[in-house]
Structure 1
């Protein structure tokens, strides 16, 4: 994405219908894109660790432990796919649209993101939690009581931390959507 080309395209237009200038919109888009990259990276690393563990240790026989791993991996993979699709679609539109059309597109984009944020993400989190819950009896049987307690505490703290990050990003997206409607 070339900022100069985008600025030239938007500067040509005479009717400015928004409170944002092109640089502000580009800055906001970059910040949101960077937060999406961070989310994708964290989720991808988690999926890689789970997959390595699953293929190296878990799939020798089928049981609820394997089901738990598959639920965790699939929920994160779906979320990663949605983030990549959303990110790519937005960048593709950013390059090809004029300011007025892009502002209208952003409104539609963030409304579609609401579906991801308020429906799909909670389902993914619930599936992930169910998967983690299915792993707990195996952890309890195979690990010491201290390490099992560590897994419980770190698992819930990690999940809480991720949920806080997700909520923070949802609030930012909602705020940006409200600003677009002004």
Structure 2
């Protein structure tokens, strides 16, 4: 994305009575996009680790352990694809729209993101947790109790940290939507 071209295009169209400047919108869009890249990277690395483990150790016979892995991997892949689609669609619109139209588009975009954040994300998290839950009996059987407790505690801790990050991200998106709606 060419920020210089966007700056020039939007400055020509800028309305002096508006409190939202092209630089503010571009800065917030870049910050939000960087956050999406971080989310995509973390989820993708988790998918790679789970797939690597699954192909090396798990898929010799089908059982609930494999079902758990498939649920975990599937929920993460769905979320990564959704983030990529959302990111691509927003950038495509940014390049093709004038400032005022993009401002209106951003309002719609963040309203749609609320649906993703409040419906799709909790479903993905629930599927991931259920998949992890299906793995626990196998972990308990195969590993020592100390290592099993480590897996259980670290899994719960990791999931809690991810949920906190998601909640912070959702709050930021809501604040940005409120800011867009008040102006």
Normalising by structure 2, report the TM-score: 0.97
1:49: which partner in 2?
Answer: 49
Asked if the contact 1:54–1:69 (Cα under 8 Å) also holds between the matched residues in 2, the reply is: yes
> 1: CA distance between counterparts of 2:138 and 2:44?
24
Aligned-residue offset at 1:14? 5.2
- Aligned equivalent of 2:161: 161
RMSD: 1.0
For residues 63 and 17 of structure 1, what CA distance do their matches in structure 2 show? 63
How far residue 137 of structure 1 moved from its aligned partner, in angstroms, is: 0.1
Structure 1 residue 119 and structure 2 residue 151: aligned?
Answer: no
- For these two proteins, the number of residue pairs brought into alignment is 182
Q: CA deviation at 1:164?
A: 0.3
SS in 2 for 1:165: helix
Note if contact 2:14-2:22 (Cα within 8 Å) is conserved in structure 1: no
Q: Does 1:137 pair with 2:129?
A: no
Using the TM superposition, give the Cα deviation of residue 34 of structure 1 relative to its aligned residue in structure 2, in angstroms: 0.5
Does the aligned pair in 2 maintain the 1:17–1:100 contact within 8 Å? no
Give unmatched runs, 5+ long, in structure 2: none
CA distance in 1, matches of 2:17, 2:109: 18
Deviation at 1:16? 4.8
SS at match of 2:59: helix
| Separation (CA, whole Å) in 2 of partners of 1:158 and 1:131 | 15
CA separation of 1:18 and 1:80: change in aligned 2, threshold 3 A: farther
Cα offsets for 1:32-68 (capped at 9, x unmatched): 1011000000000000000011111111001000000
Structure 1: how far apart are the matches of 2:52 and 2:146? Answer: 24
Distance 1:16 1:121, change over 3 A: farther
Conservation of the 8 A alpha-carbon contact between 1:79 and 1:124:
yes
Unmatched segments (≥5 aa) in structure 1: none
| Aligned position for 1:104 | 104
Taking structure 1 as the reference length, the TM-score comes to: 0.98
What is the alpha-carbon distance in structure 2 between the residues aligned to residue 16 and residue 66 of structure 1? 59
